[in-house]
Structure 1
Amino acid sequence: MELTLLKAKLHRATVTHAEVEYEGSCAIDSDLLEKAGIREYEQIHLYNVANGERLVTYAIRAEAGSGIISVNGAAAHRATPGDPVIICAYATLSEAEADRHEPTLLYFDADTGDNRIQQIKHAVPIQAA
């Protein structure tokens, strides 16, 4: 059996650009892609915390160190600069691989909007009552 598990997450990154006319779907600072282990052209899911919009697209590289999170093309209609977003990539793993898997989770301070990593974890905290 194969399972689809969370591979990487950028939690509460801030949209810096929404470019309807730009080719490509979601440009992400190359440094952030590298730290998260997300490849250019890899499928990603983008969840907009500000308006509840959810979309599936692919990642493209933005300038390293720029902090850019640019939602492009038709997807640009679903985000506005300043919106906090969660960007996830998933992987299909065997049960044996899943037993050893740890996702890479990058956490940002959405209040600052600068897309600087605040913390890196490898597990989502247990939700308390």
Structure 2
Amino acid sequence: MLVNVVKSKIHRVKVTGAELHYIGSITIDEDLMDAAGVIEGERVQIVNVTNGERLETYAIPGPRKSGEVTLNGAAARKVAKGDILILITYAFMELDEAKAFKPSLVFPNEETNLLN
């Protein structure tokens, strides 16, 4: 049996931009993606701590050491620059594997979105 478990979480990052006229996705500083084990194109659940919105899109890498967290396309309507987000990815695993699995938890600097 497969179960769907939290694979990684980037906890409390600040939205740096919202680009409505873009195909879609969330642009995330590639350093944050690497730290959390998020790959380009991976599904990301976005929890907006500021306004309570929840949505899903896919990740694309942004420039390293930029702290960029930009919502693109329709998702841009669900955030405002400065909102605080939690980014979560999930993975399907066999039950025994899931019981032993430890997700990657990343806690960047909340003001800069950079790793400490």
TM more than 0.5: yes
Asked whether the 8 Å contact 1:24–1:60 carries over to 2, the reply is no
Question: Match for residue 78 of structure 1?
Answer: 78
Matched, 1:67 2:81: no
Q: Deviations over 1:17-75 (max 9, x none)?
A: 00001233100001111110000000010000010010011000111111100000000
Structure 2: runs of 5 or more not aligned: none
Higher relative contact order (CA 8 A, sep 6+): 2
> How many aligned positions are there?
116
C-alpha RMSD of matched pairs (Å):
1.0
Question: Match for residue 25 of structure 1?
Answer: 25
Matched, 1:101 2:101: yes
Question: Match for residue 55 of structure 1?
Answer: 55
Q: In structure 2, how many angstroms separate the alpha carbons of the residues matched to 1:82 and 1:89?
A: 22
Could you tell me the TM-score, scaled by structure 1's length? Answer: 0.86
Identity of aligned residues (%): 41
Structure 1: runs of 5 or more not aligned: 119-129
Asked whether the 8 Å contact 1:27–1:59 carries over to 2, the reply is yes
Q: In structure 1, how many angstroms separate the alpha carbons of the residues matched to 2:16 and 2:46?
A: 14
Could you tell me the TM-score, scaled by structure 2's length? Answer: 0.95
Question: Match for residue 117 of structure 1?
Answer: 115
Letter in 1 for 2:42: E
Asked whether the 8 Å contact 2:47–2:55 carries over to 1, the reply is yes
